[in-house]
Structure 1
Amino acid sequence: MMNSVEIRRLIEEITSAELFEGDYGDCVFNVDAILSGVEETDRKSVPADYLEFLADFGFGELDAAFYVDEGPEKYSTICGREVEGYEGIYIIGGNSSDVLYAFDAKNNWQVVEVSSELDGFEVLASNFSDFILEKLKCIKSMVERRAAR
């Protein structure tokens, strides 16, 4: 996985912060369990860096601003119905408000943001490694601001 040393450092800094209240770090090694919410036709295409992340760094709540699910789940499963235009969307995390982070399997598994405030979804990164690195940097910055108060 790209940037694994920096990712590990950021996660350790976030989880060791004095005000850390998350529940993060359970690792998942069973790929079949991780991919249980993914359609059979899409399973071979799930990004390897995402699977490595779950095995090496885990899942859970890093902050109220970000949690990582233990595996992708179809958007339609979460909504309870099919939504036109969201057929290839697999939710991989979110925050404590209404923002979800997902893979768009129909567009090279890029990472997108799904929000009730958006009409559709917004592309955040072309790959999981870039997405998670930027998200961790943002969380670390928020943790530091809270500690400074």
Structure 2
Amino acid sequence: MRNSVEIRNLIEAITSAELYEGDYGDCISNVDAILNDVVDTDRKGVPSDYLEFLADFGFGELDAAFYVEDGPVKYSSISHGEVNGYEGMYVFAGNSSDVLYAFDSKNGWAVVEISSEAGGFEVLSVDFSSFMLDKLKYVKGLVDWRADN
């Protein structure tokens, strides 16, 4: 996985912060368990760096601003039915409000943000490693801000 040293340092800084209240860090490497909710025909496209991340860094709540699931779940399972335009979406993370992060299996497994407030989705990154590095930097910034205030 690209940027693994920086990602590890960011996760350690977040989880060792004085005000940390999450439950992050359980690792999972069983690919069949991780991909339990992924349609068989889509499994070959799941980003390998995502699977490496779960095995090496884990899942759980890093902060109220970001949690990582132990495997992707079809958006239709969360929305209780297919939604036009979201057929290939697999949710793998989110925050404590109304934002979900998903892979778009119909668009090269790009990472998208789904927001009920915005009423749609937006492509954030074409690869998982870049998305995670950016998201962890953001969360670390929030943690630092809280510590200073």
Within 5 A, what are the aligned runs for 1:20-99?
Answer: 20-99=20-99
Q: Aligned ranges for residues 115-134 of structure 1 at < 5 Å?
A: 115-134=115-134
d(CA) in 1 for partners of 2:113 and 2:4? Answer: 23
Q: For residue 113 of structure 2, what is the aligned residue in structure 1?
A: 113
The DSSP-based 3-state class of the residue aligned with 2:25 is: strand
What amino acid is aligned across from residue 92 of structure 1 in structure 2?
Answer: F
Give me the whole-angstrom Cα distance separating, in 1, the residues matched to 2:45 and 2:124: 19
Deviation of 1:80 after TM superposition, in Å, equals 1.0
Q: Which runs of 4+ in 1 moved over 3 A?
A: none
* TM-score, L = length of structure 2: 0.99
Gaps of at least 5 residues in structure 1 are none
Q: Distance in 1 between matches of 2:108 and 2:94?
A: 20
Which letter does structure 2 place at the counterpart of 1:117? E
Please provide the CA RMSD for this pair. 0.5
Cα distance in structure 1, aligned partners of 2:77 and 2:39:
11
Count of aligned residue pairs for this structure pair: 149
Relative to the length of structure 1, the TM-score reads: 0.99
Report how far residue 119 of structure 1 moved: 3.0
Task: Name the structure where helix makes up a greater proportion of residues.
Answer: 1
* 3-state SS in 2 of match to 1:124: strand
